Amino acid sequence: MPFDPSDVHCDLSCGIGSDGRWHGWFAVRMRADALRRLGLHPDQPTAETTHPSPPGWWHAAAERNAHQYL
């Protein structure tokens, strides 16, 4: 793993949503210095997107077919 365990912090919370069903949320936070080592910090030019995002139909197809890969 390229990160030291002290570089990564994960939070998880659960609760009942407005639809009455249980939902879970998680957040992953990284230390900025850990991202800089890999050229991924937002202040670095290598962290910018260089290609356009795929079209909307591509995202819809990926979501529709996502269950096939689980």
Asked whether residue 49 carries a pLDDT value surpassing 80, the answer given is: no
Query: pTM, whole model, 2 decimals?
Result: 0.45
More confident residue, 66 or 57: 57
Percentage with pLDDT > 70 across the chain = 89
* Tally of domains in the chain: 1
Both tokens of 18, joined, read 């407005």
Asked whether residue 1 carries a pLDDT value surpassing 60, the answer given is: no
Which of 37, 43, 44, 40 has its CA nearest to residue 4?
A: 37
Give the pLDDT score at 17: 86
Enclosing domain of residue 38: 5-69
C-alpha to C-alpha distance for 33 and 50, rounded to whole angstroms? 23
Contact 15, 1 (CB under 8 A): no
From the DSSP assignment, how many helices (H) and strands (E) are in the chain? 2, 2
Give the pLDDT score at 70: 58
